[in-house]
């Protein structure tokens, strides 16, 4: 028996097999969970559907997290499919490419607002929609993905660091709001990973090399390590853990100079 046997998991933000969401999906499947996925737009649909077939996941359809009607319809489909929900994975972040290559102070008002809406507020909106479905199952767990740039100034991470800081604050306040219904909310702060979104960050390869060189484990993070930690945080194995940012970064966050 796996630690997710009999659990129903909705994973939002899977883009391709390089996404950090993908090892989360694989580990949840290996541990016995039923999985549902969404996608945003036709281009991502073509990537997500073959991955869904690999793990026997249900594709619920398109979800743009800036649209409340699509959030509502997605969770209505979850209710029709399962009647309730045990696990929610939020693997969504966005910043315009130019805002990850120039100085932070050049970010426009519109780009700042859009980055925070998609990267941080979306967790609030999705948690609100998930609440009654998790309550119907006696509780649940939510996991989102963050990065060290939330608490330290990382060159070129810029507005995304501000969005991740907001995301981690949302985790704490959601944990407070939802704890009385036995719903836990946590974040995983991962080391730099070579994903579709990280390719937009100027100097990303230098960032990744620095982690490998200076971390206590003296190696790069394996993306499957994020998947394994997510499976634990989403399962009853971590029943006393909520409101936390858990670092899966081969120890780099503890280093000074």
Residues belonging to the active site: 147, 157
The answer to whether 100 and 157 are in contact (CB under 8 A) is: yes
The answer to whether 119 and 94 are in contact (CB under 8 A) is: yes
Tokens of 179: 């704890």
Q: Are strands 34-39 and 87-90 parallel, antiparallel or unpaired?
A: unpaired
The helix, strand and coil proportions of the chain, stated in percent and rounded to the nearest 5, come to 50, 15, 35
The answer to whether 38 and 15 are in contact (CB under 8 A) is: no
Distance CA 62, CA 242 (A): 29
Residue 233 buriedness (CB in 10 A; 0-12 / 13-18 / 19+): buried
The answer to whether 174 and 124 are in contact (CB under 8 A) is: yes
């Amino acid at each position: 028996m796996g630690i997710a046997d009999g659990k129903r998991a909705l994973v939002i933000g899977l883009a391709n097999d390089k996404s950090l969401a993908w090892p989360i999906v694989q580990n949840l499947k290996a541990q016995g969970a039923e999985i549902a996925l969404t996608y945003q737009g036709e281009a991502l649909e073509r990537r997500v559907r073959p991955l869904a077939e690999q793990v026997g996941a249900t594709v619920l359809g398109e979800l743009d997290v800036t649209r409340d009607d699509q959030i509502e319809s997605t969770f209505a489909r979850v209710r029709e499919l399962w009647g309730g929900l045990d696990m929610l994975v939020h693997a969504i972040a966005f910043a315009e490419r130019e805002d990850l290559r120039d100085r932070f102070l050049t970010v426009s008002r519109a780009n700042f607002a859009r980055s925070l809406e998609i990267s941080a507020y979306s967790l609030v909106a999705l948690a609100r929609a998930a609440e009654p479905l998790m309550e119907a199952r006696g509780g649940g767990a939510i996991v989102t993905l963050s990065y060290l740039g939330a608490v330290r100034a990382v060159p070129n991470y810029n507005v995304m660091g501000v969005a991740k800081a907001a995301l981690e604050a949302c985790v704490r306040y959601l944990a407070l709001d939802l704890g009385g219904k036995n719903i836990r909310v946590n974040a995983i702060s991962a080391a730099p990973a070579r994903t579709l979104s990280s390719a937009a960050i100027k100097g990303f390869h230098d960032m990744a090399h620095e982690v490998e060189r200076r971390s206590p484990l003296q190696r790069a993070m394996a993306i499957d390590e994020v998947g394994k930690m997510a499976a634990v945080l989403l399962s009853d194995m971590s029943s006393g853990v909520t409101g936390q940012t858990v670092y899966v970064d081969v120890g780099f966050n503890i280093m000074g100079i």
